Amino acid sequence: MSATMTPASNDRIARRFAALKAEGRGALVTYTTAGDPDAARALEILRGLPAAGADVIEVGMPFSDPMADGPTVQAAAIRALAAGMTLKGTLDTIAAFREGDTDTPVVLMGYYNPIYIYGAEAFARDAAAAGVDGVLIVDLPPEEADEMIGALRAHGLSLIMLTTPTTDETRLDEILRYASGFLYHVSITGITGSASAENEAVDSMIRMIRSRTDLPVVVGFGIKTPEQARAFAGMADGAVVGSAIVSRIAADEDPLGFVKELANAVRGR
């Protein structure tokens, strides 16, 4: 896959980013954990996200050792696992969501261990059947991605790859050999929900990335407020908000009301 390759025109992710570009704005990308706080409530929240203003939805695959995640998302995974959520249950949740929404792109985000146990081919097949559009595997570097990328491509799924503040041009070119859908730029060196990024540093990285690919670039990690979401969605092709939403779920507050605030900010309202 070349550094300038763009997804097929019939792909939900490509259609959504093209539509947003035509609107002249970036995407609001939301993250929640499948099964948090329980399967029924998680599905209810998931179904409400598009109407609240989410343009792209990331769904976390609960895992017992989420090494890139901060305490907020770690606790969400523990709650989900304790409530009985599994990888198969996560796919069932997406399938249930798709019964009422065939347009919103859905990306699964998580770690390779559960997928390895499930089987890469079986996972890609079942994820595609459930209505998943892409997969972001935090601990799968390009050097180890051949089996997974082959399975995903065979079933029309994107492999969303990560870049970080330490990614140089040589490493970026290696990442772009595998990336499709969009790139997820980790704005800080740290875990989710931790310190916020500096705008100038992120802007510089986005410019470097865009000089080498046409793929959309979204920014995540450390985006907690509507103001930050607006700033980074305007700078990149989208902003990801996760821990700040998950913390409201944990507190039994209204996560969808907060998503509406984020969406209004991203839309300049």
> CA torsion sign, 173 to 56 to 35 to 133?
negative
Look at residue 191 and tell me whether its pLDDT is greater than 90: no
Q: Check residue 201 and give its pLDDT.
A: 85
What are the pLDDT digits (tens) for 135-153? 999 999 999 999 999 999 9
Domain ranges of the chain: 12-257
Which tens digits make up the pLDDT trace of 106-119? 999 999 999 999 99
Given a cut of 90, whether residue 187 has pLDDT beyond it is no
**Closest among 35, 137, 42 to 88, alpha carbons compared:** 35
Q: Active site includes 58?
A: yes
CATH topology classification for 12-257:
TIM Barrel (3.20.20)
Residue 69 has pLDDT above 50, yes or no: yes
Chain segment 18-45, per-residue pLDDT in tens: 999 999 999 999 999 999 999 999 999 9
Contact (Cβ atoms closer than 8 angstroms) between residue 235 and residue 203: yes
> Quick check: 123 pLDDT over 60?
yes
HSE value, Cβ hemisphere, 13 Å, CA-based, for 72: 20
* pLDDT of 3 over the 50 cut: no
pTM of the model: 0.93
Cα 24 to Cα 268: distance, rounded to the nearest angstrom: 11
Question: Does residue 234 have a pLDDT over 60?
Answer: yes
Catalytic residue chosen out of the listed positions 69, 126, 133, 237: 69
Catalytic residue (choose from 36, 58, 126, 133): 58
- For residue 168, indicate whether it is catalytic: no
